[in-house]
Structure 1
Amino acid sequence: MNHSCSSSGPTILAQAQETFLPITKITGPPFLCVIFNWGLFGVLSTQLYIYYQAFPDDRLLLKTLVYLVFLLEMAQTILITQTGWGLYASGFGNIEAFGMIGDDWISVILLGGLVAFLVQTFYAYRILVLSKSRIVVGSIMLTALTSLVGSLVTSILMAGTGLSNQTGESTKRIDIGLGIWQATASACDVAIAICMTYYIKKLLQGVSSVSETRKVASRILRLIVETGTVTATMSIISLATWYILSAPDQNFYFEVPLSLIAKLYSNTMLVAINSRVKFKVISQSTTWKDVPMVILRPQDLSDDIESDSTTSPNILSPENIDTMVFASRASDIHIKEHKAES
């Protein structure tokens, strides 16, 4: 990745050379950005394949969202790879190249903000399904929209500066734009996790604490909290490292969390969607190529859950299970081994 603007003062690279900043602190972060992005893109590609195989009958709107997010992530990976090629291959040895904005304003800021907005909209819809509250969902969408605007403004300002050593009023505006983008994004993620926890607990009122339903819901709630805070934490880390580690006498590792935000959003969304499936391994073979798998659709999920007498009649319906799973950021993909009958 090329470097972004910061408010650390004039001529970042010049000051870095004056303070004898180790070369690895300049060249290392872009390298990590390329490696981590490709790794997460590989995970996302696997998630897309599972979705394609398991849910061919999903609604067109959901399919459009899934494939659109994947295409945006593919575009980001290509742009980041192109930047890496320019730094370490065609432009090898040119230290000044690390100070160019290049395509970062598109690949990191613009696409990152757009993917985050799409994913947050997806979760906002799930909250609407559970809560039926337009006020709550409207507040979440307003926060998500503010975050998107922050990323758009930041990307435009970065595209206009051209170099990371630009100083003056433009860098202050970039700091403000990036602060709005990351702060509102993390606030939106926390709000989503809190709302999903509250409404799922409300849905389970009257259900026995020892029932299988409660156990499933507890696992979903735990995953909501755990995975729902991943993107919020990354946004906070990005914001903190931007203001702390972008000083010329520190390092440029603030680039890494910024470049990974979009991949984290898209992966958590696909995992949440794919958590409706359950794989049953029906072979004793220890090699993956010999393991046949049966994909069970959402309506099959309720077959493995037994409710007790206190469970409401509809709480374990495929529709409710589908809603609860969609509402979470991630869920387990259950793998059950069945020994072949001798």
Structure 2
Amino acid sequence: MASGPAPPLPNVQLSYGPMIVGVFFNMILYGVLAGQTLSYFQVYRKDATWMRLFVGFLFAVETANTALDMAMMYEPLILKYGQKPIFFPTVFMTEPLCIVLVSMPIQLFFAWRIHQLTKSLWVPLIISVFGVASFAGGLWTAIRVQMLREFIKKPLLHNSALLWFLAACVADVLITISLVKTLSQKKTGFAATDSVLDRIIRMTIQTGMITALFSILDVVCFMALPASFHYAVNFVWDLALSKLYSNCLLSTLNARHKLNDASHGSTFQQRRSVVLSPARSGSGKQESFFDSAPASGSVTYGGTITEGHLPDLEYGIHMTKIVERMEDPVPRTVVAQ
């Protein structure tokens, strides 16, 4: 007896399609993160122990996140192939949890660095509050996903997801604005020093705003398509979000080595210009003063005409001041004949 035509397979392009694209982005960024982590542990052996443990913790969470994301897509596309997308994958609830386990510590780290730079409590405190609120929203979302489990109930996740995404976005924007403003105030007027500071500012904007942009795209796509449960476009941005946080932090930490090389030349040129300065003291010797060398592994910028040791600019970056004291030459006395 001839069998009838097979029933058509369900269309999963708008449900699992964005999710698998997001997993692809996640895996690509994990490869970048693995390289950056290896470079960090090879180059910055003298960083504080807590900092190295922090980087190790982030890499461990990201490794688990990538493995769980692959398992998350293996279930509906292989184990349940051909079935209508009704339920969230079993391990889907681990995604928001992994993201906030990465994002909140990084946001608190930046808040601490801003406090070290500005000696102010208000802005770091506000950033910390939004970071903790984002963590609470992500944890709430993970619990709700496990309770609801069905794609059609996705609109019931809006409140928790809105708290998670918006709080993270506000924290990222505050971090970027605070660092840019603080670093801009550290400019000295020396072209070589300011050019290096400009590079740090550009890097801060690039790394800070990219996470804020992905958070905004995530929440916009999540909230803009509430009527149809099978729309999951937001997962293109969501599943790559944790890797963006980790890669942005590691790229900033690893950039210290290149900035160090660039600043050595600037500092040498400025010191050389001081030595060759025509101004001399009354004893016939030029007086120029250099502060003690900064800690090993730090980046050195030269050219500030201030006294006292300057604090860390960012992530173990120091400034070395060059102070030059010049006295007006003593005019020769004309003796009448």
Normalising by structure 2, report the TM-score: 0.75
Instruction: String of CA shifts for 1:160-198, please: whole Å, max 9, x gaps.
Output: 11222237xxx44x2111101111111111100111111
Of 219, 225, 233, which residue of structure 1 is paired with 2:213?
A: 233
Give the aligned length. Answer: 279
Structure 2 counterparts to residues 142-157 of structure 1, below 5 A: 142-157=129-144
Secondary structure of 1:155's partner?
helix
Closer, same or farther in 2 for the Cα pair 1:302/1:215, shift >3 Å?
closer
Tell me, in whole angstroms, the C-alpha distance in 2 between the residues paired with 1:89 and 1:124. 43
Q: Which moved more, 1:319-328 or 1:136-145?
A: 319-328
Q: What is the match of residue 56 of structure 2?
A: 67
- Once the two structures are TM-superposed, the CA of residue 110 in structure 1 deviates from its matched residue by 0.9
Q: Is the 8 A contact 1:275 1:325 kept in 2?
A: no
Tell me, in whole angstroms, the C-alpha distance in 2 between the residues paired with 1:27 and 1:246. 17
Q: What is the match of residue 266 of structure 2?
A: 305
Q: Is the 8 A contact 1:130 1:199 kept in 2?
A: yes
- Once the two structures are TM-superposed, the CA of residue 79 in structure 1 deviates from its matched residue by 0.5
Q: What is the match of residue 88 of structure 2?
A: 100
- Once the two structures are TM-superposed, the CA of residue 136 in structure 1 deviates from its matched residue by 2.0
Closer, same or farther in 2 for the Cα pair 1:190/1:89, shift >3 Å?
same
The code of the aligned residue for 2:169 comes to: S
Q: Is the 8 A contact 1:26 1:251 kept in 2?
A: yes
The code of the aligned residue for 2:163 comes to: I
Of 4, 12, 35, which residue of structure 2 is paired with 1:46?
A: 35
- Once the two structures are TM-superposed, the CA of residue 325 in structure 1 deviates from its matched residue by 4.7
Q: What is the match of residue 193 of structure 2?
A: 213
Q: What is the match of residue 141 of structure 1?
A: 128
Tell me, in whole angstroms, the C-alpha distance in 1 between the residues paired with 2:316 and 2:163. 26
- Once the two structures are TM-superposed, the CA of residue 251 in structure 1 deviates from its matched residue by 3.0
- Once the two structures are TM-superposed, the CA of residue 212 in structure 1 deviates from its matched residue by 0.4
Cα RMSD of the aligned pairs, angstroms, is 2.8
Of 260, 275, 283, which residue of structure 1 is paired with 2:255?
A: 275
Of 83, 87, 90, which residue of structure 1 is paired with 2:79?
A: 90
1:159 aligns with 2:146: yes
Secondary structure of 2:239's partner?
helix
Tell me, in whole angstroms, the C-alpha distance in 2 between the residues paired with 1:154 and 1:223. 32
Secondary structure of 2:40's partner?
helix
Closer, same or farther in 2 for the Cα pair 1:327/1:180, shift >3 Å?
farther
Secondary structure of 1:224's partner?
helix
Q: Is the 8 A contact 1:272 1:325 kept in 2?
A: no
Q: What is the match of residue 26 of structure 2?
A: 37
Tell me, in whole angstroms, the C-alpha distance in 2 between the residues paired with 1:99 and 1:27. 11
Instruction: String of CA shifts for 1:227-253, please: whole Å, max 9, x gaps.
Output: 211111111110000011353287321
Tell me, in whole angstroms, the C-alpha distance in 1 between the residues paired with 2:106 and 2:24. 23
Tell me, in whole angstroms, the C-alpha distance in 2 between the residues paired with 1:240 and 1:259. 15
Any gaps of 5 or more consecutive residues in structure 2? 1-8, 275-288, 302-310, 318-337
Q: Is the 8 A contact 1:127 1:327 kept in 2?
A: no
- Structure number with bigger Rg: 2
- Once the two structures are TM-superposed, the CA of residue 326 in structure 1 deviates from its matched residue by 2.5
Secondary structure of 2:313's partner?
helix
Identical residues among aligned pairs (%): 25
Tell me, in whole angstroms, the C-alpha distance in 2 between the residues paired with 1:66 and 1:265. 12
- Once the two structures are TM-superposed, the CA of residue 200 in structure 1 deviates from its matched residue by 1.1
Tell me, in whole angstroms, the C-alpha distance in 2 between the residues paired with 1:63 and 1:117. 17
Tell me, in whole angstroms, the C-alpha distance in 1 between the residues paired with 2:49 and 2:300. 21
Q: Is the 8 A contact 2:18 2:233 kept in 1?
A: yes
Report which structure shows greater RCO (CA 8 Å, sep ≥6). Answer: 1
Q: What is the match of residue 259 of structure 1?
A: 239
Tell me, in whole angstroms, the C-alpha distance in 1 between the residues paired with 2:314 and 2:252. 7
Instruction: String of CA shifts for 1:271-315, please: whole Å, max 9, x gaps.
Output: 11111123xxxxxxxxxxxxxxxxxx95x6642223476xx9669
Q: What is the match of residue 284 of structure 1?
A: none
Of 59, 65, 79, which residue of structure 2 is paired with 1:76?
A: 65
Instruction: String of CA shifts for 1:102-135, please: whole Å, max 9, x gaps.
Output: 21111x2111112110111121121122111122
Tell me, in whole angstroms, the C-alpha distance in 1 between the residues paired with 2:165 and 2:242. 12
Q: Is the 8 A contact 1:101 1:163 kept in 2?
A: no
Tell me, in whole angstroms, the C-alpha distance in 1 between the residues paired with 2:161 and 2:33. 26
Tell me, in whole angstroms, the C-alpha distance in 2 between the residues paired with 1:185 and 1:315. 40
The code of the aligned residue for 1:139 comes to: I
Q: What is the match of residue 109 of structure 1?
A: 96
- Once the two structures are TM-superposed, the CA of residue 139 in structure 1 deviates from its matched residue by 1.5
Any gaps of 5 or more consecutive residues in structure 1? 1-19, 279-296, 329-342
Secondary structure of 2:256's partner?
coil
1:197 aligns with 2:183: no
1:182 aligns with 2:162: no
Secondary structure of 1:305's partner?
helix
